[in-house]
Amino acid sequence: MTGRLNWRRISAPWALVLLTTACAELTFTAVAVPATWLLLPLLLVMYGAGVLFIREAVVRVGGGWPSLVLLGLAYELAEDGLGLQALTSPRMYGAADWGLRFLGLNWTYWESQIGVHVVLSVLVPIALADLLFPHRRNRPYLGRGGFVGVGALAIVGVFGLRTIVSAIVDPGYQMPWSAMVVFTALIIGLAVLALMGVALPHREELGRADRRAPRPGVVGFVSMYLTMAFLTTVLPLGLGSTMLLGDMMAPVLLLVVGAMTAVPFGLVVLRWRTAANWSDRHRIWLIGGILVSHTAFMMLGSVLSALLGALTLAASVMLLIKLAGHVAQRETQANTVLV
């Protein structure tokens, strides 16, 4: 009995750790760069502990999606700015050639990683964990000691990126002290606003009879299309050397088009989620569209990437179907109890 209780207690945080790592890297970057799997222990610490810490912090202060987004921005700055140093490096990943580099910053890379990390590293894994463990949605997964521990692990993950990944991929580069100070100040400011600005509006009126969300399949298609549109605007295809729109418009316009894709997508999802007919099926299709699109994008790099991507897509779709069945069964049981 004790073992069963312990498993129930740790299953949710471990699920979030694994989901975060899978959504952020294993079904994305690892498709185009299979060597990413060699960094799995570091990824579990950086992504898993980092996002678990974000989720725990937000739940403890009673925050909602605005707090998650703000901490997602801080998380992206910690990873790409302080850890990988990719926001300022002229060589890392060739990111300086993706689009606009101005004032020593890789702006196109920065915009791409804001979208990737806020959505794929933070919002999607937490939403999946909420679907798996709805009874713990607004409750902490960890005690105080565990919360402090995962926070420390997240910091270790940032140092790991700096001393391992950055040192190997971009040896000898040291970001300017001015950039380090600015990034650190931004991270602190975003964290304070996210955790102390609990008055940020996030408790929208849900179940509004005057709003209707489209069918779940339509939500999934829109999600898949707009995710692919964003990725092909601000990232090279399959993380190769070709930007789909690179020769068609100025780098500044790429930033504008990327924002004009991402921001309306976010706004329409916020509107849908307040509709009276919005359900867990809609959430699963929304997430599924994002995950399918972000894996398919990485399949464009090589034949091996196409093969790995096809296997990854098959596994992702199978697991999402299983999740949908689990949610439907849970709803049926709940309705039976009510009757």
Residue 51 CB neighbour total at 10 angstroms: 30
Contacts of 84 (CB under 8 A, 6+ apart): 92, 161, 162, 165, 166
pLDDT of residue 196: 83
Same domain, 26 and 172: yes
Same domain, 210 and 193: no
Given 167, 202, 237, the domain boundary residue is 202
Same domain, 109 and 236: no
Mean pLDDT of all residues in 239-260: 81
Q: Is the pLDDT of residue 243 over 90?
A: no
Instruction: Enter the DSSP assignment of 208.
Output: B
Same domain, 166 and 296: no
Residue with tokens 């222990």: 41
Of the given ranges (27-31, 56-60, 179-183), which has the lowest mean pLDDT? 27-31
Same domain, 188 and 209: no
Instruction: Pick 119 or 334 by higher pLDDT.
Output: 119
Long-range contacts of the stretch 231-236 (C-beta < 8 A, 24+): 231/112, 231/115, 231/293, 231/294, 231/297, 232/297, 233/257, 233/258, 233/261, 234/98, 234/99, 234/108, 234/111, 234/112, 234/115, 234/258, 235/98, 235/112, 235/297, 236/94, 236/98
Dist CA 257 CA 265 (whole Å) = 12
Q: Is the pLDDT of residue 189 over 60?
A: yes
Task: List, for residues 36-93, the tens digit of each pLDDT value.
Answer: 888 888 889 989 999 999 999 999 988 888 899 999 999 999 999 999 999 999 988 8
Q: Is the pLDDT of residue 8 over 70?
A: no
CA angle, 191 then 267 then 219, to 5°: 120
Pairing of strands 105-106, 101-102: antiparallel
pLDDT of residue 4: 55
Q: Is the pLDDT of residue 6 over 80?
A: no
| The residue count for the chain | 339
Nearest CA to 11 among 119, 142, 153?
142
Instruction: Pick 209 or 39 by higher pLDDT.
Output: 39
Mean pLDDT of all residues in 302-324: 92
- Residue 9 domain boundaries: 1-202
Helix (H, G, I), strand (E, B) or coil at 242: coil
Given 202, 237, 252, the domain boundary residue is 202
Task: List, for residues 121-147, the tens digit of each pLDDT value.
Answer: 999 999 999 999 988 888 999 999 999
Same domain, 238 and 183: no
Q: Is the pLDDT of residue 1 over 50?
A: no
Amino acid at 176: P
Q: How confident is the model at residue 246 (pLDDT cuts 50, 70, 90)?
A: low
Upper half-sphere CA count for residue 227 (Cβ side, 13 Å): 26
Contacts of 169 (CB under 8 A, 6+ apart): 92, 93
Instruction: Pick 247 or 22 by higher pLDDT.
Output: 22
Q: Is the pLDDT of residue 201 over 70?
A: no
Q: Is the pLDDT of residue 180 over 90?
A: yes
Phi, psi (5° rounding) for residue 301? -80, -40
pTM for the full model?
0.91
Same domain, 214 and 246: yes
Same domain, 149 and 228: no
Q: Are 132 and 15 in contact (CB under 8 A)?
A: yes
Q: Are 293 and 223 in contact (CB under 8 A)?
A: yes
pLDDT of residue 52: 96
Same domain, 185 and 253: no
Given 202, 220, 253, the domain boundary residue is 202
Q: Is the pLDDT of residue 2 over 80?
A: no
Mean pLDDT, the chain, as a whole number? 88
pLDDT of residue 262: 93
Same domain, 196 and 208: no
273 — alpha (psi -120 to 50), left (phi > 0) or beta?
Answer: alpha
Dist CA 166 CA 96 (whole Å) = 15
Q: How confident is the model at residue 205 (pLDDT cuts 50, 70, 90)?
A: low
Task: List, for residues 259-293, the tens digit of each pLDDT value.
Answer: 999 999 999 999 999 888 899 999 999 999 999 99
Q: How confident is the model at residue 183 (pLDDT cuts 50, 70, 90)?
A: very high
Same domain, 195 and 228: no
Nearest CA to 258 among 146, 111, 114?
111
Same domain, 158 and 175: yes
Task: List, for residues 92-104, the tens digit of each pLDDT value.
Answer: 888 888 888 899 9
Total number of domains constituting the chain: 2
Per cent of the chain over pLDDT 90 is: 56
